[in-house]
């Protein structure tokens, strides 16, 4: 099959650019996409941009030089950046995952971030906190903006103190620095939402420095989930992605474009699963 594909000028290769291989959510998605691509007769090349736009552009050129038949991207470029529409116009299908790109030019498969942000925030409002905070990253990204919109929509009419901090990266170190800054500038919140599990890890580092007697006073919620949260003394409400469903839909859109020359821009939103622990 591979030899026949090469004779027809097909590489049977797909490229996947993700922001962070250490992020459990992206690692899970990469594994599922690789398995499903292999089952369909394709090799999936995977690379991390480290959430750096220049690295992402270099990886794009690398994958194009490897004659990938389609690209799957969780991009750190702005949603309206002209690069990906130009790539699609040149004949190379692009499917965005998790981070939506221009819906008039690019097919995106994402989670419903705004509604999830609303639900997570609502889960922290009983009993009513005096001070609620959101810790996020990369404020210019569509996903960050959607999650913050959900946070604010749930706080309509809230008369307590609201703090919002966005760091430069989705990383444990960034979550730690933001939590330290929040506590130094405003004081510890009664309720806290983090827009990624990796940021929550940094929050835990900051709380550990404060001493465990502070922990029960903070109610937490986060995007992303792991079984470890079931065993913490702190109760953390979480919103997890349906990775299996996302991988299925991403590959379906990709193969529709590659095998049937049927590329359709737009956004498909996959619901998240809410787990209440608090």
- The per-residue pLDDT for range 189-201, each reduced to its tens digit, is 999 999 999 999 9
Q: What is the pLDDT of residues 136-160, one digit of tens each?
A: 999 999 899 999 999 999 999 999 9
Q: 217 and 142, same structural domain?
A: yes
What's the predicted TM-score (pTM) here? 0.86
97: Cβ contacts below 8 Å, ≥ 6 apart: 29, 72, 73, 74, 108, 109, 110, 246, 250
Sequential DSSP letters for 112-139? -HHHHHHHHHHTT-SSPPSEEEEEEE-T
* Tens digits of residue pLDDT in 209-222: 887 665 667 899 99
**Burial per residue of 187-209, b for 16 or more beta-carbon CB atoms within 10 angstroms, e otherwise:** ebbbbbbbbbbbbbbbbbbbbee
Domain that holds residue 257: 2-111+242-272
Of the candidates 163, 216, 158, the one whose C-alpha atom is nearest the C-alpha of residue 187 is 163
Residue 182 lies in a domain: yes
3: Cβ–Cβ under 8 A, 6 or more apart, which residues?
none
With respect to residue 277, please indicate whether it lies within any of the assigned structural domains.
no
Statement to judge: residues 44 and 101 lie in one domain: yes
153 and 88 in a single domain? The answer is: no
Residue 68's pLDDT is 97
Asked if 89 and 125 sit in the same domain, the reply is no
Same domain, 117 and 65: no
Token digits of residue 143: 């996903």
Within this chain, do residues 128 and 216 fall inside the same structural domain, yes or no? yes
State both tokens at 118: 């609303």
Is a pLDDT exceeding 60 seen at residue 8? Answer: no
- Pair 125, 214 in one domain: yes
pLDDT on residue 203:
95
Predicted local confidence at residue 278, as pLDDT:
64
Query: How high is the pLDDT of residue 2?
Result: 44
């Amino acid at each position: 099959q591979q030899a026949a594909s090469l004779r027809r000028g097909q590489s049977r290769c797909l490229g996947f650019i993700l922001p962070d291989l250490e992020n459990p959510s992206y690692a899970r998605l990469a594994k599922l996409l690789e398995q499903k691509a292999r089952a369909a007769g394709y090799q999936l090349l995977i690379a991390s941009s480290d959430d750096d736009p220049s690295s992402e552009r270099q990886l794009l050129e690398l994958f194009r030089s490897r004659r990938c038949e389609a690209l799957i991207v969780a991009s750190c470029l702005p949603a309206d950046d002209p690069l990906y529409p130009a790539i699609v116009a040149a004949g190379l299908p692009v499917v965005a995952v998790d981070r939506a790109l221009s819906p008039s030019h690019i097919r995106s498969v994402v989670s419903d971030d705004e509604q999830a942000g609303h639900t997570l925030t609502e889960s922290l409002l009983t009993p009513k906190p005096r001070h609620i905070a959101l810790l996020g990253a990369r404020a210019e990204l569509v996903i960050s903006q959607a999650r913050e919109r959900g946070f604010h929509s749930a706080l309509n009419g809230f008369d307590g103190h609201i703090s919002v901090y966005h760091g430069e990266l989705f990383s444990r170190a960034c979550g730690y620095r933001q939590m330290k800054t929040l506590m130094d500038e405003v004081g510890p919140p009664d309720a806290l939402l983090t827009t990624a599990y990796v940021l929550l890890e940094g929050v835990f580092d900051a709380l550990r420095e404060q001493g465990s007697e502070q922990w029960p006073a903070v109610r937490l919620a986060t995007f992303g989930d792991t079984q470890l949260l079931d065993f913490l003394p702190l109760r953390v409400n979480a919103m997890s992605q349906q990775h299996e469903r996302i991988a299925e839909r991403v590959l379906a859109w990709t193969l529709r474009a590659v095998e049937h020359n049927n590329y359709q821009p737009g956004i498909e939103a996959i619901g998240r699963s809410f787990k209440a622990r608090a």
